[in-house]
């Protein structure tokens, strides 16, 4: 389904804190209807879904909340460490 998934925002820059969200850009081979985007977000465990921006373009913006379990918090912390070590330039 996805050709590329890009981590963006403060997490990708290594400056996230405990209240930072996780932003991802997901590139698909073909444009998707907003309803399908919502379905995928729900399947990923997101709740309270919303959208924003101009809906007349191919871009679909979906936001939502996830109740992060302790395991998810560990995964996010691991992503941050990997980004800090291998992706981000030294500061």
Number of domains in the chain: 1
List all residues 6 or more positions away from 89 whose beta carbon is below 8 Å from its beta carbon. Answer: none
Q: How far apart are CA 26 and CA 69, in angstroms?
A: 23
Q: How far apart are CA 56 and CA 40, in angstroms?
A: 20
Q: Which domain holds residue 46?
A: 4-87
The pTM of the full predicted model, rounded to 2 decimals, is 0.65
Phi, psi of 8 (to 5 degrees): -130, -175
- Tens digit of each residue's pLDDT (9 = 90 or more) over 29-87: 888 899 998 988 888 888 889 998 888 888 898 988 877 655 555 566 666 665 555 55
């Amino acid at each position: 389904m996805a050709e590329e998934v890009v981590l963006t925002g403060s997490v990708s820059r290594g400056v996230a804190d405990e209240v930072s969200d996780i932003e991802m850009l997901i590139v698909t081979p073909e444009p998707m209807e907003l309803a399908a985007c919502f379905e995928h977000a729900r399947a990923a465990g997101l709740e309270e879904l919303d959208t924003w921006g101009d809906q007349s373009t191919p871009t679909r913006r979906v936001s939502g909340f996830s109740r992060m379990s302790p395991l998810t918090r560990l995964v996010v912390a691991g992503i941050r460490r990997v980004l800090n070590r291998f992706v981000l330039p030294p500061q």
